[in-house]
Structure 1
Amino acid sequence: MALIEIENLSVTFTAQGRQVRAVENVSLSVEARESYGLVGESGSGKSTILRAICGLAPVSGGTIRIGGAPVQRDKAFSRRVQMVFQDPYASLHPRHTLDRTLSEPLAIHGIGDADARVVQALRDVGLPTSFRFRYPHQLSGGQRQRVAIARALMLEPEILLLDEPTSALDASVQAEVLNLLARLRAERGLTFLMVSHDLAVIDHMCDRVLVMQHGRAVEELARDDLAGARMKTDYARSLFAASADRMLTSS
């Protein structure tokens, strides 16, 4: 049984008096400790899937199961599933110190030993413990994203939902954060469901990938198929070609 099972998921928004189907009948499954990628252009629905899992987008059809049970977004869900957003500055409270940001989930869930846990969390993501009483504006973008990752891990979840976690960062910092995520996944046995528009990131991080277009699933690829450019659909091939061109241009 897969850890994450999504079956015929649809998400519909109402915008300017009309219905917009952001996701339409998408199915996927993610095994425990697997890293699974969602890739596609802006507006393809990939981030909406993560938001639907967390209850941040309106599910209009289909089912989402975690560990075989329908999702119930309660405290137990928060202990099991956490999300890291694209923009680390927007996702951290500007007037809260890192200490408060990291200790708050512990207080909500009645978990003690906050001081030691906060110090260890900073160490786990490669930040000095002297940063503990700094504010987000005193950190670089990469440091802020490390804090966001640390906060997501405070409750020791099984699953991380990663929504373009490096796209707001400089290229050199992107690699550092991706390597950090890969290390944490290996050390903690985490399961990743990761969104990116960049196939190079997905190729580096994910065991399998689902290509999406206009809210629909187009093609699922194993890492070897992605690395060998063995796509079956024209759209997936065009995404791969565009990603390869960007890599050549930036090199």
Structure 2
Amino acid sequence: MIGVRGLSVTFQSKGREVRAVEDVSLSVAKGESFGLVGESGSGKSTILRAICGLAPVTAGEIEIGGAPVPTPRGKGFAERVQMVFQDPYASLHPRHTIDRTLSEPLAIHAVGDTDQRVMQALADVGLPTSFRFRYPHQLSGGQRQRVAIARALMLQPQVLLLDEPTSALDASVQAETLNLLSRLRDERGLTFLMVSHDLAVIDHMCDRVLVMQHGRAVEEMSRADLAAARMKTDYARSLFEASADRMLG
């Protein structure tokens, strides 16, 4: 469902060249959940942004469903691929009601039956329909992230790109949100590409994981390898040890 081959992303920052991603390849099957893990600055979030067209691809190829992604991405891409960002407060317009936030993608893509779809979307993420006419500041962090997830699902995409979707949340709310994402993936047959700095989150959510360091792919592991601490590189092992006390099991 997701194919990335030889991806490189280079930025110009303060007069110098920054190689954010260098020659990274990965493949995610339909219905699979694939994790990208690494410290801040490892390039993992840049890969998601490159797939969405939010970061400049300087080399390599990106495919969704076996077809190259168009530039610019356009409506067809948005109907297949959506992204959930790290900070739900920053990603929701503060002066738009939840109803408007969820209705907007439907209006842009000329999808009808708005009322029913909005109410169903709220129900799907475990929020009461009374939340329709509230504003983001009237919701908790976990509730805001549920709205962000609902918005991403309004067009019934096949792929969700998840950029640290729970790192801004409290631990108990984090677990609830991860369980919600797992349920939605099972119910809808979604394909996930998920970024985290925390191997405990990846262990809970993903079938396979690619460890990133300084913009490069260091090591790919299965969930079984991760659970058994079968790392081949020192860097992956150091990440595992840092996350071991937070493992969700």
Same fold (TM over 0.5): yes
Aligned with 1:194: secondary structure?
strand
Q: Distance in 2 between matches of 1:68 and 1:164?
A: 26
The match for 1:122 is 122
- The AA in structure 1 aligned to 2:11 is F
Q: Distance in 1 between matches of 2:189 and 2:245?
A: 34
Contact residue 31 and residue 189 of structure 2 kept, 8 A: yes
TM-score between both structures, scaled by the size of structure 2: 0.98
Q: Distance in 2 between matches of 1:230 and 1:56?
A: 35
The match for 1:238 is 238
Which one of 41, 52, 55 corresponds to residue 54 of structure 1? 52
Query: Is 1:102 aligned to residue 97 of structure 2?
Result: no
The match for 2:21 is 23
1:144-159 matched pairs, under 5 angstroms: 144-159=144-159
Cα offset, 1:244, TM superposition: 1.2
Q: What runs of 5+ residues in structure 1 fail to find an aligned partner?
A: none
1:35-46 matched pairs, under 5 angstroms: 35-46=33-44
Query: Is 1:32 aligned to residue 33 of structure 2?
Result: no
Aligned with 1:180: secondary structure?
helix
> For 1:93-116, what per-residue CA distance to the aligned partner results, in whole angstroms no more than 9, with x for missing partners?
000000000000000000000000
**Aligned structure 1 segments of 4 or more residues deviating by more than 6 angstroms:** none
- The AA in structure 2 aligned to 1:235 is Y
Q: Distance in 2 between matches of 1:65 and 1:192?
A: 15
The match for 2:167 is 167
- Root mean square deviation, CA, Å: 1.0
The match for 1:75 is 75
> For 1:49-95, what per-residue CA distance to the aligned partner results, in whole angstroms no more than 9, with x for missing partners?
00000011011100001111110111110000000000000000000
Q: Distance in 1 between matches of 2:58 and 2:242?
A: 33
The match for 2:213 is 213
Q: Distance in 2 between matches of 1:20 and 1:200?
A: 29
Cα offset, 1:246, TM superposition: 5.1
Q: Distance in 2 between matches of 1:45 and 1:204?
A: 22
Contact residue 23 and residue 216 of structure 2 kept, 8 A: yes
> For 1:133-169, what per-residue CA distance to the aligned partner results, in whole angstroms no more than 9, with x for missing partners?
0000000000000000000000000000000000000
Q: Distance in 1 between matches of 2:108 and 2:241?
A: 46
Contact residue 200 and residue 246 of structure 2 kept, 8 A: no
Contact residue 162 and residue 195 of structure 2 kept, 8 A: yes
The match for 1:189 is 189
- The AA in structure 2 aligned to 1:183 is R
Aligned with 2:58: secondary structure?
strand
- The AA in structure 2 aligned to 1:30 is V
Q: Distance in 2 between matches of 1:77 and 1:246?
A: 36
Q: Distance in 2 between matches of 1:28 and 1:52?
A: 13
Aligned with 2:59: secondary structure?
strand
- The AA in structure 2 aligned to 1:98 is I
TM-score between both structures, scaled by the size of structure 1: 0.97
Aligned with 2:95: secondary structure?
coil
Aligned with 1:195: secondary structure?
strand
Cα offset, 1:21, TM superposition: 0.2
Cα offset, 1:245, TM superposition: 4.3
- The AA in structure 2 aligned to 1:52 is A
The match for 2:62 is 64
Aligned with 2:165: secondary structure?
coil
Aligned with 1:29: secondary structure?
strand
- The AA in structure 2 aligned to 1:51 is R
Instruction: Report the count of equivalent residues.
Output: 246
